[in-house]
Amino acid sequence: MLDKINIHDILFLDIETVPAYADYSGLSGQMKELWDHKASLLKKSDDDTPETLYNRAGIYAEFGKIICISAGFFNPNTKKNVREFRMTAFYGDDEKQLLHDFAALLNKHFNGAANQLCAHNGKEFDFPFLARRMLVNKIRIPSILDVGGKKPWENTLLDTMQLWRFGDYKQYTSLQLLAALFNIPTPKDDMQGSDVHRVYWQEKNLQRIATYCGKDTLTVAQIFLSYRGEELLKDGEIFLAL
């Protein structure tokens, strides 16, 4: 079925998120109480406290924020049999601004009935996280992300992890593992997802995070090509703007 999809209609993406504050002490009194309750559900040992568990807050849209969105697409304006994968990134400390700019991209260039978004584990993480943070920041959700009430055949969201399941719901398969299976260069050659909190709040190196995020987006596109039985992208076919 994937070969029926026009690959030029797809926007591939990945997001990076962190806790809203550098540490637990930055939370307001009310948010501390709410995080304390969340932490009580996450606790696995007596050593786990709301303070020590706070580095996990970034995976929850209610307690985290988006610091980078990497996006890439196959340029349809090329000669026959010529591939051109163009990438860009929205990143910064101002979450509202980067979400505004990303929403503008979707509304302008990916608002057609045939357009789709594709991410790894996107249906459980990237897509709902984006939509929730847009609501928090009072940004209208672009139609391609606003899937509430849509019929199954109106699906605009693709997920390379769910596509790999083939109906099996019992396991999680990482992007890194699929990259290894399909002989795709690992996107985790510089840092892991668990490093993002430290690199952002301590090193304050957003450029490094944006580069890491971009590698994930490229890997998602490469995996999608592999699912379709197509050749992987070569260096000369990839164009990056940061």
| CATH number of the domain encompassing residue 124 | 3.30.420.10
| Containing structural domain, residue 171 | 2-20+63-230
- Residue 242 included in any domain: no
For residue 154, tell me if it sits in a domain.
yes
**Structural domain count of the chain:** 1
What is the average pLDDT across 96-105? 98
Position 237 in a domain: no
β-bridge pairing 116-119 and 10-19: parallel
**DSSP structure class, residue 69:** E
pLDDT in tens, 10-29: 999 999 999 999 999 999 99
- Indicate the helix (H) or strand (E) that contains 218: helix 206-227
Does residue 152 register a pLDDT over 80? no
Rounded alpha-carbon distances, angstroms, from residue 37 to 31, 84, 100: 10, 48, 31
Query: What local confidence, expressed as pLDDT, does residue 3 receive?
Result: 83
DSSP β-ladder status, 85-91 and 238-241: parallel
Q: Residue 16, exposed/middle/buried by CB under 10 A (0-12, 13-18, 19+)? A: buried
- pTM of the entire predicted model: 0.94
- pLDDT over 60 (residue 99): yes
- Residue 159 included in any domain: yes
Residue 161 belongs to a domain = yes
Centre a 10 Å sphere on the Cβ of residue 166 and count the other Cβ atoms it contains: 6
Is residue 167 over pLDDT 90?
A: no
Any domain includes 97: yes
Q: Is 45 a member of any domain?
A: no
What pLDDT is attached to residue 242? 53
Whether 80 is in a domain gets the answer yes
